Amino acid sequence: MGNEKVTIKIDSEKCKGCLLCVKVCPRGVIRQADGVNSSGQRYVVVDDPEKCVGCGLCFIMCPDCAIEIEKLTQ
C-alpha cells in the first residue's frame, strides 16, 4: 500500500481490544473506543483517518481480521 489514499474499516464485533494495531500505527490513526461491543470488549476505532499513510501495519497485526483497508479511487 504505502502512501496511497485509503479508508480503514474496523469491525467492532470482531475486535477484542488487544491494541496491537494502536501500538503499531506510525501516525496514531487508531485508538481504543469508549464503548464495548456485544462481547463486552473495548474495541478500536479510526480516530483521524486523514493522517493514514496506508502502510497496512494495522491490517497485518490484527489477529482477529477485524481491520479492512480499501484503496480510494481518485
Confidence of residue 3 (pLDDT cuts 50, 70, 90): low
Q: What's the pTM value of the predicted model, to 2 decimals?
A: 0.85
Answer whether residue 74 shows pLDDT above 70: no
Give the Cα separation of 19 and 16 in Å (integer). 8
26: which DSSP letter?
T
**Residue 45 CB neighbours (<10 A):** 15
Note the pLDDT tens digit of each residue in 17-70: 999 999 999 999 999 999 999 999 999 999 988 899 889 999 999 999 999 998
User: What pLDDT sits at residue 4?
Assistant: 65
